[in-house]
Amino acid sequence: MAVTLDDKLVVAISSRALFNFEEENRVFEKDNDRAYVDLQRQRLDVPAAPGVAFSLVRKLLAFNTSEHQRVEVVLLSRNDPVSGMRVFRSCHAHGLPSIQRGVFTQGRDPFRYLRPLGAHLFLSANEADVREALHLGYPAARVVTESVQAGDSNPHEVRIAFDGDAVLFSDEAERVYQAEGLAAFQQHETDKAAQPLPDGPFKPLLAALHRLQSAGEAGGTGMRIRTALVTARSAPAHERAIRTLMDWNIAVDEAMFLGGLPKGEFLREFEPDFFFDDQTGHVTSAARHVPAGHVNSGISNPVRVVGN
């Protein structure tokens, strides 16, 4: 029988998202790729420190048992194969031996491999790769490598927080807000309260997490998933968001309708292993308190045209 990942939640992740390779990356940016490879070769036996997405990955892998492998984490990196060897060794040193698959492209675009992987999530520190992955229809976020790392206070819960518009939902309502202002936005959402919002780029990930939670409960791993919707919406625009989730038959554990308040301090109390948002201001606020990623999607992230 052919090996397949079809029945698993698949997370593709770059080396810098999983481990702290910031010193090595500075060498790459300052000097050249040869100096970077030489440094990685010198440090083959030195495990890299955990990076921003390490806690998320470690907890998701805890859903696996000897009988059921429900989560697959695959390294998908612009690194060269030698640097990839150090990444695998770092995985083993930090208790992640189940990470056994990896694609290392030595500077070439890695996002094209998301298709054969059937990835439900792509995490990378490379903004261009994330943008292309989103364009191809895969949930993807640029990991803010300066983010505060997740704590250890919830060892048996994977906690993930999502923004709403342009992340879980489309940017339909955000376009109204930016074009016509808050009053028009509120009226638009009130008028369409019973009409579900179109899917956003991260709806497939939320659905996959919902399936994983159900499987985890049946499998007796002791792990669970706790999700939160953290949005700048407030009443009366809250209703359409809630009704959309109801239409999807997916529940979130917490919903925060903050009406424009800074999200960072609320996220600090929720203690997520990761937070996804499309607006750089919210991501910057969040990164001071929790692991955060920027979703380069929607009207707040116009396509950049580079001239000659």
Q: Which residue out of 129, 163, 273, 277 is catalytically annotated?
A: 163
Ranges in the chain annotated CATH 3.40.50.1000: 9-143, 157-294
CA nearest neighbour of 201 among 76, 303, 302, 295: 295
**Total residue count of the chain as it appears in this document:** 308
The conformational region for residue 222 under phi > 0 = left, psi -120 to 50 = alpha, else beta, is left
**Residue 45 among the catalytic residues:** no
The segments of the chain whose pLDDT lies below 50 read 305-308
pLDDT of residue 67: 86
* Distance (Å, whole) CA 28 – CA 58: 27
* Cβ-based neighbour number of residue 212 at 10 Å: 22
pLDDT of residue 218: 61
pLDDT of residue 219: 66
Q: Which amino acid makes up residue 162?
A: F
**Domain 9-143 in this protein, CATH class:** alpha beta
- The yes/no answer on whether domain 157-294 falls in CATH 3.40.50.1000 is yes
